[in-house]
Structure 1
Amino acid sequence: MNLNSLLHVSKSGINGLQQSLDRTANNIANVNTTGYKEKQTSFRELLNNQTTAQEVNIPANAEIAFNRGLETTPQSVVFSQGALRSSDSPLDLAIQGNGFFGVRDANNQLFLTRDGNFGFDANGTLVNNQGMRVDTTLTVPYQQWPQGKPIIDQNGNISISANGTATPVGRIMMYLPENTEAIIPNGDNLYQVQPGAVVRTSNENVAGLGTIQQSMLEHSNVELARSMTEMITTQRAYSLNTRVLQSTDEMLSIVNRFTD
């Protein structure tokens, strides 16, 4: 392996480890973000070149290989269940299971989220923190809901309790993509699904979809202690790669002086 190859290996290591540090720092920053799902970085070895005794002076039958460094795989999301914590608001919801809430933007485009911190806007519509409309099937329009306390059961059915009477008004939808690899992070705790991916809904009684818990919020699934350990380990690996890069640069400087 020549010195230029060493430079390439060190550079790929530094770039990959920097991406890992960025994602770990982002996870730690969102440790208290409702419904946040941990992002992961994984690495894989680049081209592995086998070397034989005809190419370099190595013992007979020995096998030596030189690789070209590493690359990071596309960002993955860990959709494991976060801990649930109680809330004082009847419109704070959490899903115990694998499903997602649906919210729609001004163009009626559907996004998925695990953040169930909902509320009513000025028009009486159920929305999330960004003002996006929560996806529901209504049997009674919002403007005609009676005054009272909203009651939401585990299947998402909404009733308004007033004067000892519960009036059914609609249902909050839940969604479950068949393949989590088809889920694309979109920022703001929102996700989109790749075109063509199969997405099941709560209307289909899908196993694993989960149940809705009223007056609860899902905590981030980031494990702070493990994330801090990963950051320390990655920082040390980053430091080692920079030292190799520096040493290679110094050797190249010496070689260049020989050729002067």
Structure 2
Amino acid sequence: MLRSMYSGIGGMRGFQTKLDVIGNNIANVNTTGFKKSRVMFQDILSQSMAGGSAGTTGVNGTGGTNPKQVGLGSTIATIDTIHKGGNLQTTIKQSDVGIEGNGYFIVKDASGETFLTRDGNFHFDDVGNLVTANGMLVLNSNSSPISIPADVKEYSIGVDGKITYTQKDGKVVKDGPVIGLAMVANPDGLEKAGMNTYKYNSPAAGTPTVGAPKSGAYGILRSSMLEMSNVDLSEEFTEMIVAQRGFQANSRIITTSDSILEELVNLKR
């Protein structure tokens, strides 16, 4: 009975974590560049009550037997981040940039720490630096901040990440800075760092390689567009129902085991 109770406790903990992950996914359904997560389970070691044996052939041969094992519940195997691209949504803001394909924007905070992000909600600040909504500097392929004159008349961002702008005197600058992109060998290994960013150096993801959009395997950029969350509400609500029922079923294991234990205790009366 104690084994079934502890199996139920392990199952409840797992489904509670699954509900936490689902809740975070739903909360970020409108978060720009957000990548949803999923919980995968695995069984814990099994207690062997009897080992298996191989059969033998011949006149005096014997049949084989299968092992007898009792499972001891489940635990969380992984919490994966699904890096499938979200839909691009058109905006009226020219400095908004969405990535179509592979790659992550490279940004740097005030302390000099570098991060990766798919959130292209950018704007030019008062001195002409291209920054994120949180004030992080957007970097080029040489890991330098992207900057244009603060008094430009107009500008555009090409699919190759190059910024073309018209100066105050009317001169058109076509060789402006280029927005850089980074790629990693294992995107699933990126560690979330908050504010729609990932750590630049995540051991499981591999060392980032930096390049220009539309070159090699790097994606292209879409100005006046933003990549939306890849959360599918219908899928999340379905998974929520499954997690809820799983939690209830495991709690029923505990109450049923408790009832049987009560009957065993009452045998003495």
Structure 1 length as normaliser, TM-score?
A: 0.87
- Answer yes or no: is 1:82 the counterpart of 2:86: yes
Any idea what the Cα deviations from partners look like across 1:61-94, whole Å, max 9, x if unmatched? 3543211111112321100111111110111000
SS class of match (2:98): strand
Provide the C-alpha distance between the structure 1 equivalents of 2:182 and 2:51, rounded to a whole number of angstroms: 59
Identity of aligned residues (%): 29
- Answer yes or no: is 1:159 the counterpart of 2:164: yes
Provide the C-alpha distance between the structure 1 equivalents of 2:144 and 2:114, rounded to a whole number of angstroms: 20
Question: 1:142 Cα deviation (Å)?
Answer: 3.4
Provide the C-alpha distance between the structure 2 equivalents of 1:214 and 1:231, rounded to a whole number of angstroms: 36
Provide the C-alpha distance between the structure 1 equivalents of 2:99 and 2:3, rounded to a whole number of angstroms: 50
SS class of match (2:93): coil
Partner of 2:154: 149
Q: Is the Cα contact below 8 Å between 1:139 and 1:168 reproduced in 2?
A: no
Q: Is the Cα contact below 8 Å between 2:129 and 2:137 reproduced in 1?
A: yes
Structure 1 counterpart of 2:121, from 112, 117, 121: 117
1:171 aligned partner, one-letter code = V
> Paired residues, what number?
253
Moved more, 145-154 or 78-87: 145-154
Moved more, 201-210 or 239-248: 201-210
Partner of 1:57: none
Question: 1:235 Cα deviation (Å)?
Answer: 0.7
- Decide which structure has the larger Cα Rg and report it: 2
Unaligned runs of 5+ in 1: 55-59
Q: Is the Cα contact below 8 Å between 1:14 and 1:241 reproduced in 2?
A: yes
The alpha-carbon distance between structure 1 residues 70 and 103, as it changes in their structure 2 partners (threshold 3 A), is same
The alpha-carbon distance between structure 1 residues 141 and 19, as it changes in their structure 2 partners (threshold 3 A), is closer
Question: 1:200 Cα deviation (Å)?
Answer: 1.2
Partner of 2:181: 174
Q: Is the Cα contact below 8 Å between 1:90 and 1:214 reproduced in 2?
A: yes
Structure 1 counterpart of 2:97, from 93, 111, 119: 93
- Answer yes or no: is 1:188 the counterpart of 2:195: yes
Structure 2 length as normaliser, TM-score?
A: 0.85
Q: Is the Cα contact below 8 Å between 1:139 and 1:169 reproduced in 2?
A: no
Q: Is the Cα contact below 8 Å between 2:147 and 2:177 reproduced in 1?
A: no
The alpha-carbon distance between structure 1 residues 259 and 188, as it changes in their structure 2 partners (threshold 3 A), is farther
Q: Is the Cα contact below 8 Å between 1:154 and 1:212 reproduced in 2?
A: yes
Provide the C-alpha distance between the structure 2 equivalents of 1:252 and 1:211, rounded to a whole number of angstroms: 64
Q: Is the Cα contact below 8 Å between 1:145 and 1:169 reproduced in 2?
A: no
Q: Is the Cα contact below 8 Å between 2:103 and 2:183 reproduced in 1?
A: yes
Question: 1:173 Cα deviation (Å)?
Answer: 0.9
Any idea what the Cα deviations from partners look like across 1:186-215, whole Å, max 9, x if unmatched? 122110132492211115976332011111
Unaligned runs of 5+ in 2: 53-63
Q: Is the Cα contact below 8 Å between 1:114 and 1:189 reproduced in 2?
A: yes
